[in-house]
Chain A
């Protein structure tokens, strides 16, 4: 063996530190395993077809979260419809048009600031601004607008990252062939940056699905399904609690069975999104090579 004098003197301390390092990593993994394990064990017997496709009703004697699933879908789609174009546009401006200076620094600083603001503050702001000042009340629209501001930095940042990875030669090639800037962005840049942009969108979906504090006082807690086709349209202006909100409300009422059922559904969604995002990121790396 190596009999260096250096190794001998520090061996014990090194071993203790190495042990602590492994212990910490093990702890982080164990926390995850415990969370998943506990939720699966307690949740799995509550999740069945009735739970997923009906609405909680005292008359029909059903306990279900179909309304909350629909509300979550509404909020995800509506938020993305508003936030994605703005986020991408903002990233295009920062990366392709802006030439530095005070304005760019202000935009970057505020984007950074937005990503550091806690969701409860977004909730308060959404409640008084979109809810009261704009007059949207407790509605899915208010919730979606609030979340739009919240996820904007995520989409902007990921799109910027993706645009930066598009080689400069693509730009000069297109422009050199006589393409205008907007044409170049539309036909060359955006398609090449698409996987990166989609990763940002996926992460945003994850954030929206898991969000609760920003929605409690903006989207409210309605859980009934609309009865007519027009009802589905009107739904946007009505209160609608997402899965997380319903989970919180059930837990506050000590209805732990429902809570764990929802928790399991949420975990599955988060897990799927995670897998997709990872797959996308891997594809991105392969493409770069």
Chain B
């Protein structure tokens, strides 16, 4: 063995050994937590799948848990979460990426010193506050839009503005800080000589940013987007009241339920099979999150290998 002073085995008293063991146990808490969460989500989420039938739950659109002949189809709920997240990313990411470019490449220091803390503060605002403002600012606006769009329609069920579109807008805003922060660090990590080379070849500053710096920061920006997806699909309290309260097809002016909001709004009173199905919804969400996590780890690994 090496006998460096860093590993003086003779002096290892009992206290040292105990300290070491305690630190190992602390480190293992995270491992145990992830295993416990996975186990409990599967144990609580899968019974309903077999009782109701996998096809009947996952691929049926009829949700009537309290009816005399209950139906537990969550296809619309799953689709709402997927489409809602996708739309929020589509709206939020361009704004976030350009803001990150502003902070990392364009802004004079004084302006950056105003925008950056604002973004940090945006990240710290509790999601219920986003929900509160969503109800009182966005929903009335969307209601006006709804009335304009469906003027004369006799079949449309008015939502009063609590609809898919409002929820998407709230989500798009809520992912901004996450995507901005991670993309900004990715842009900062691009070595300066790439910029100098591009500028020296005659490209303008903007061309350099969009054709050299952003492509060079690609993997970091992609992980920012993936994190944004995770944030959007997992958000619950901000959109519970904003998105309306019934399960419908994920169309812009429909009142909809997301995976998260279905759990929040019904877990309080659900019992029996209904409650088990809500856990199945939780399991579906958990599977989505795990896939997102694995994708992210894959991206980060690839980046390290580069």
Binding site for B on A (CB under 8 A): 4, 6-7, 10, 13-14, 17-18, 20-25, 27-29, 31-35, 38-39, 85-90, 92-94, 96-98, 106-107, 109-114, 116-122, 124-125, 128-129, 149, 152-153, 156, 172, 175-176, 180-182, 185, 206, 209-213, 216-217, 244, 247-248, 251-252, 256, 259-260, 263, 266-267, 270-271, 273-274, 278
User: Could you give 11 example pairs across A and B, Cβ below 8 Å?
Assistant: A25-B103, A93-B26, A107-B28, A117-B234, A120-B264, A149-B33, A152-B30, A182-B20, A210-B126, A251-B131, A251-B241
Asked whether B189 is an interface residue with its Cβ less than 8 Å from the other chain, the reply is: no
Which residues of chain B are within 8 angstroms of A116 by Cβ–Cβ distance?
Answer: 227, 230, 289, 292-293, 296
Complex-state Cα separation, A118 to B33, whole angstroms: 14
B207 CB contact (under 8 Å) in A14, A85, A86, A125: A14
Chain B interface main SS type: helix
Please determine whether A263 and B132 come into contact, CB atoms closer than 8 angstroms: yes
Supply 7 further A-B pairs (C-beta < 8 A) apart from A17-B210, A175-B5, A266-B126: A6-B203, A97-B24, A118-B236, A153-B30, A248-B128, A251-B128, A266-B129
Which residues of chain B are within 8 angstroms of A27 by Cβ–Cβ distance?
Answer: 95, 99
Complex-state Cα separation, A92 to B131, whole angstroms: 39
Binding site for A on B (CB under 8 A): 5-6, 8, 11-13, 15-16, 19-20, 22-31, 33-37, 40-41, 44, 94-99, 101-103, 106-107, 111, 114-115, 117-122, 124-133, 135-137, 173, 176, 180, 202-207, 210, 227, 230-231, 233-237, 240-241, 260, 263-264, 267-268, 279, 282, 285-286, 289-290, 292-293, 296-297
A248 CB contact (under 8 Å) in B22, B131, B231: B131
Please determine whether A121 and B126 come into contact, CB atoms closer than 8 angstroms: no
Which residues of chain B are within 8 angstroms of A263 by Cβ–Cβ distance?
Answer: 128-129, 132
Please determine whether B103 and A252 come into contact, CB atoms closer than 8 angstroms: no
Which residues of chain B are within 8 angstroms of A97 by Cβ–Cβ distance?
Answer: 20, 23-24
Question: Contacts A93-B26, A172-B6 given: A6-B202 contact, CB under 8 Å?
Answer: yes
Nearest CB of A to B298, in Å: 12
Please determine whether A152 and B33 come into contact, CB atoms closer than 8 angstroms: yes
